[in-house]
Chains A and B, each alone.
Chain A
Amino acid sequence: EAGVAQSPRYKIIEKRQSVAFWCNPISGHATLYWYQQILGQGPKLLIQFQNNGVVDDSQLPKDRFSAERLKGVDSTLKIQPAKLEDSAVYLCASSIGTGQETQYFGPGTRLLVL
């Protein structure tokens, strides 16, 4: 079974530029999560989708971050414009549902904002 796929794996941009990350969850997983992990910290949930609906986006900085999950499968996370403090690893995870199921994480996208 293929795992969670993410691209790109690395991205370096200048501040005020825009960037987009892509995630393809495990086939059949209804729930998709985007996390931000700053160096030395635990992952922080940015947004949670169930199918193509948003379950929670309370920690998403909506003035600059946006996310969508079209057709309930792939998802994109966008930052526009980027700030220095956005430098982090962006992790995508998926799970079968929204109960107590295991989350499976993708390899992450490392973003460096200069």
Chain B
Amino acid sequence: QKEVEQNSGPLSVPEGAIASLNCTYSDRGSQSFFWYRQYSGKSPELIMSIYSNGDKEDGRFTAQLNKASQYVSLLIRDSQPSDSATYLCAVSPSGGSYIPTFGRGTSLIVHP
């Protein structure tokens, strides 16, 4: 059973701070990693994808991947109240059929 683990939170940070969200996965064959944001009552939307070890930056968001440690994280710099949402980590193997496994998500609250 492939597992993706996330702390359910909530993670509470003040406005302007860095929010750090973490995800571990069990399948060493995983090759594709995704972070989705899901506002309450809405559907998930993709924020970042990462496929290689290291960091990938996109605006205020940085995804970090460490395949040896089976660990992927998302950093949100200068957090805003509008970033308050549940962040879902999704992991999938390489090639063939793309069968993603989602974590349960981490709830982030950014307070003014």
Contacts and interface: CB of A to CB of B under 8 A. Distances in A.
Interface of A: 31, 40-45, 48, 50, 55-56, 91, 95, 98-103, 105-108
Contact of B49 (A91, A102, A107): A102
Contacts of B8: 40
Given A42-B104, A50-B97, A102-B49, 6 more contacts: A43-B102, A56-B99, A98-B97, A100-B49, A102-B46, A105-B43
A105 B42 CA distance: 10
Contact of A100 (B44, B51, B101, B102): B51
B102 A44 contact: yes
Contacts of B45: 105
A48 B105 CA distance: 22
B88 A42 contact: yes
20 contacts: A31-B98, A41-B104, A41-B105, A42-B103, A42-B104, A43-B44, A43-B88, A45-B100, A48-B99, A50-B97, A55-B97, A55-B99, A91-B44, A98-B96, A100-B31, A100-B92, A102-B49, A103-B100, A105-B43, A105-B45
A97 to B, nearest CB: 8
A40 B100 contact: no
Residue of A48, A50, A95, A100 contacting most chain B CB atoms (<10 Å): A100
Interface residues on B, range: 20 to 34
B32 interface: yes
A60 B97 CA distance: 16
B65 to A, nearest CB: 13
B4 interface: yes
A6 to B, nearest CB: 9
A99 B97 CA distance: 7
Contacts of A43: 44, 88, 102
B103 A103 contact: no
A50 B101 CA distance: 18
B87 to A, nearest CB: 10
